[in-house]
Amino acid sequence: MTIGILFGTLFACLLIGVPIAIALGVSALAAIYFGTTLPLGIITQKAFTSLDSFPLLAIPFFMLAGILMGKGGVSKRLLDLAAAMVGWMTGGLSMVTILACMFFAAISGSGPATVAAIGGFMIPAMVARNYSGGFASAVAASAGSIGVIIPPSIPFVLYGVIGSVSVGSMFLAGILPGLLIGAVLMMTAYIISRKRGYRPDPADGTKFVFKDVAKAFWDAKWALLIPVIILGGIYGGVFSPTEAAVVAVVYAIIIGKFVYKELTWHGLFESFRQAVVINATTMIIIGLSVSFAYFMTIQQIPGEISSYLTALSTNPFVILLAINLLLLVVGMFIDTISALVVLTPILLPIVVAVGVDPVHFGVILVANLAIGFITPPLGVNLFVASSVGGVQFERIAIAVLPFMFAMIVCLLVITFIPELSLWLPGLYE
């Protein structure tokens, strides 16, 4: 009965448009009131105490670092480098967008932030070169999803905290899957561009010029040092992931203000303001998601779900396939942070019981939810791309389908070839 009240109330709230954080809190309160004798105050108490976590501080600082770098000229240098590397190819601007998103992903850790920073430049540029507006926006939206896979990744930080998994190992585990997804998205964009005749502009050159790449690389050197400093510091034992996020903020301010000199005092203030607003929303979701997950745990709901799944099969491949299908559906309706907090305590014990490595499962989980960024009706990246590109949401939702299929193929490869995720963490250990 308690399970029915909990999930029935949750789905009812989502159907009538209640914000996800409020829906999680209300459903937990309803289940406690009608199905148990527990005090109602346990929900608010757990929501507040869950945020008293040092590792969680990495989330607002990585958010702030990404915003500062977008306003400080970092994204422009990365775009110039990407253009020199692949802009001469068929569909060159779409290739530039994807490659620049991969570069920016190694800085921001956020999917929507990557779409906003890169898509704001590239969607209008592609439309001006006669690319379809839907295709241009779909490229930016799908490539922005890589932002949560290539380290540093905010969802990896959250998964590591919830699942008691090394955040450093999660960062390493995301590198090869992120590169795989980026490469497959570039292949998809190339095929579509070739079919539609999206040729490079002769003014931009039609062949690879090493001198131009070297010049763009030199101009972008300070931007490219950011992931080196962050990841090198973590794996060299100089600082923790949370301290690395603070270092990234300080570095972004210095580079944007004193090196590139594009970060104004007004831009600095706006960056902090945006980070505060976004972080406030994020922390409300995390707090109430933890309360929801905590209530499920004390009611032994994860154990019941685990027993049901393991009764279906003890084959890890079958279990992972079923979980992938579940997560793809969840990603359509629930945001990444809420899904991570709620589902990690449920699913992690199940996959560990059938022999799946927690680090590998973390990559599977986040890769699934990354696809949710471009899956209607939630599809956060689609809305961001629609906003910055001025293209109707419906056009982007149709144009993104080939990229969504390509990401699902990558997901299956990541799921059933665990070495792709575990090889680099294995070297570090």
Do 86 and 45 sit in the same domain of this protein? yes
- Domain count across the chain: 2
Quick: pLDDT tens for 44-85.
888 888 787 787 888 888 888 888 887 888 878 888 888 888
The answer, yes or no, to whether residue 223 has pLDDT greater than 60, is yes
- Do 135 and 184 sit in the same domain of this protein? yes
Cα–Cα distances in angstroms (integers) from residue 233 to residues 61, 174, 225, in the given order: 16, 17, 12
Confidence of residue 206 (pLDDT cuts 50, 70, 90): low
Question: What is the chain's mean pLDDT, rounded?
Answer: 86
Query: Could you give the percent of the chain with pLDDT greater than 70?
Result: 98
Same-domain status, 5 and 57: no
- pLDDT score for 203: 58
Dump pLDDT digits (tens) for 269-325.
998 998 888 788 778 888 888 888 788 778 777 777 777 777 777 788 888 998 999
Q: Are residues 69 and 116 in the same domain?
A: yes
Same structural domain, 280 and 160: yes
CB-count exposure of residue 210 (10 Å: 0-12, 13-18, 19+): exposed
Pair (200, 61) in one structural domain: yes
Q: Which residues contact 77 (CB under 8 A, 6 or more apart)?
A: 216, 219, 220, 222, 223, 260
Condensed to tens digits (0 to 9), the pLDDT of residues 354-382 reads 889 999 999 999 999 899 889 887 788 88
Q: Are residues 1 and 123 in the same domain?
A: no
Q: Per-residue pLDDT averaged across 385-392, rounded?
A: 85
Using the predicted structure, report yes or no on whether residue 193 has a pLDDT greater than 90.
yes
**Residue-range definition of the domain harbouring residue 22:** 1-38
The DSSP output letter for 199 is: P
Mark 367-405 as b/e (b = at least 16 C-beta within 10 Å): bbbbbbbbbeebbbbbbbbbebbebebebbbebbebbbe
Same domain, 389 and 369: yes
Confidence of residue 337 (pLDDT cuts 50, 70, 90): confident
Instruction: Tell me, yes or no, whether 183 and 318 share the same domain.
Output: yes
Same domain for 265 and 242: yes
Please determine, for residue 217, whether its predicted confidence score (pLDDT) is greater than 80: yes
Is residue 407 very low, low, confident or very high in pLDDT (cuts 50, 70, 90)?
very high
Rounded to two decimals, what is the model's pTM?
Answer: 0.84
Residues 109 and 8 in one domain: no
Secondary structure string (H, E, C) spanning 203-234: HHCCCCCHHHHHHHHHHCHHHHHHHHHHHHHH
pLDDT in tens, 112-154: 878 887 888 888 888 888 899 999 999 999 999 998 899 888 8
Residue 415 to residue 423: CA distance in whole angstroms? 14
Residue among 36, 22, 28 at smallest CA distance from 8: 28
Find the helix or strand (DSSP H, E) in which 392 lies. none
Residue 398, C-beta contacts closer than 8 angstroms, at least 6 positions apart: 134
Amino acid at residue number 221: K
Q: Same domain for 24 and 43?
A: no
